[in-house]
Each structure stands twice: as structure tokens, then as C-alpha cells.
Amino acid sequence: MKRGALELGVDVNDRIDAFATFLDLLVEASGRMSLTTIRDESGIVAKHFVDSLSCLRSEVLNSSMSVIDLGTGAGFPGLPLAIACPHLDVHLLDATRRKIEFVGSVIEALELPNAHPHVGRAETLGRQEGQRGRYDRVVTRAVSTLATLVELSLPLLRDGGVLIAQKGPSVVDELEAGRKAAKLVGGEVEQVIEFRLPITGETRSLVLVRKTRSTPAAYPRREGVPHRSPLF
């Protein structure tokens, strides 16, 4: 864990106990519910913990700001970011209650004052007063196509905010549609960062999409539509 994080430029020495507790809770809970298909501890560390921290390679999470993790599942990438970066105010959203209950149990066990679990859908949250235009950053990991992520994320961002979408090497196939969707919803694809994941050496990409103007009121569309019928 320490080595993988250091390769990303992140020092987690004083947070190792918290990551160890999270690991124990995840392994135990995965025996009762479907939280992750990765069951071995080394795999969880490399492909969940370190992979989540790779968001920090974007260098746009380096100050006190509000972050929302869309489709967090068992807490990725949001919980590792909250553990490693106490300056971030991290909100974790998922539509599956049992997953958010698990996330809440980890937050309670680790006493993380900067992490907040929410049950719900991005389509609904993006239309709520007090949520629309609230966040500085959106992080997503293995949720949907880039075009869909743009539609779900940009309404939640303040003007100038950034979506950090974690993707694999195939993201090149999604970029054209993602750029078109961003232009329609009020943003632009600013940067694509390619790198090798520490420990495993697997290829990863971070796509940064900046919100450049207010999102039109028509977006996001109603629940389920962005996934079933992407804008492009």
C-alpha cells in the first residue's frame, strides 16, 4: 500500500491503520454481500485502494474542496480519497442502499468527519436545489460511458468545477462522444492523462472535463435515460 501510494506521490504512512481497517471490513462484508469481485487482500489494495488514489495524479484535488463520488459502490474512489486527504469534503452517492449502508459503516468505524454517504441517483440529485452546482469536483470509476458521465456530473458541478473520470485504455473510443456531450451540457474535455497503475502495471486514464458555463435546465434527463440513451 505504502509503495503503491508513493509511486503516485501520496504519503499514507499515518493512514495505514485506517486502510487496514477498511480492508478488513471490506473482506468481511464481501462474504455476505456482493461488494467486489476481488477477494484477495493484495488485489484489493492494488486495484481498489491504490487505483482510487490515482485520481490524485490529476493535480486538481490538491486543496480544500467539496467532492462527490458518483456510483461509489463499496466506496471507490471516494473512501480512499477521504482517508488519504482529510482536506477534502467527500460525498459518496450510490443508488443501492446496502452498499451505502456498508460505506456508512466504514465511515463510522474510521471516524471520518470528511466523508458523507448518500443513497440516490445522480439524475435526481442534479435537479435538487442545494445540490445542483454545489460541488468543486466529481469523481467516477467504472460507472458508464464518458458521454453519460458528463451528463450526470456537470449539473452537480459549480462553474469551473472538474469531472475526474477514471477510465482504462479504451477511453479513446469514447472521447469524441464525450466531447460532444460536454459541449452540449456546458463543459469541455480539458485533458486525458494516461499512466501505468502502480503494482499491477495496468494502463489507466484520467479524463478531466471542466464545466465552463451553466448546464441547461434540460439536463440531466430523467432517471435511467442517460444510461439507456447517451447523448451521443
Report whether 122 belongs to an annotated binding site: yes
- Which cell goes with 114? 470528511
Report whether 195 belongs to an annotated binding site: no
CA 27 from chain centre, in angstroms, equals 21
Report whether 41 belongs to an annotated binding site: no
Report whether 141 belongs to an annotated binding site: yes
Report whether 5 belongs to an annotated binding site: no
Radius of gyration of the chain (CA): 17
Mention every residue, 6+ apart, whose C-beta is less than 8 A from residue 166. Answer: 51, 54, 55, 77, 139, 140, 141, 142, 204, 205, 206
State the alpha helices, DSSP H only, in the chain.
2-7, 16-30, 41-44, 51-53, 78-84, 97-110, 122-125, 146-153, 175-185, 225-228
Q: Is 188 helix (H, G, I), strand (E, B) or coil?
A: strand
Report whether 95 belongs to an annotated binding site: yes
Q: How many CA atoms lie within 13 A of 143 on its CB side?
A: 32
Output the known binding site: 71, 76, 94-96, 122-123, 141
Binding-site residue ranges for S-adenosyl-L-methionine: 71, 76, 94-96, 122-123, 141
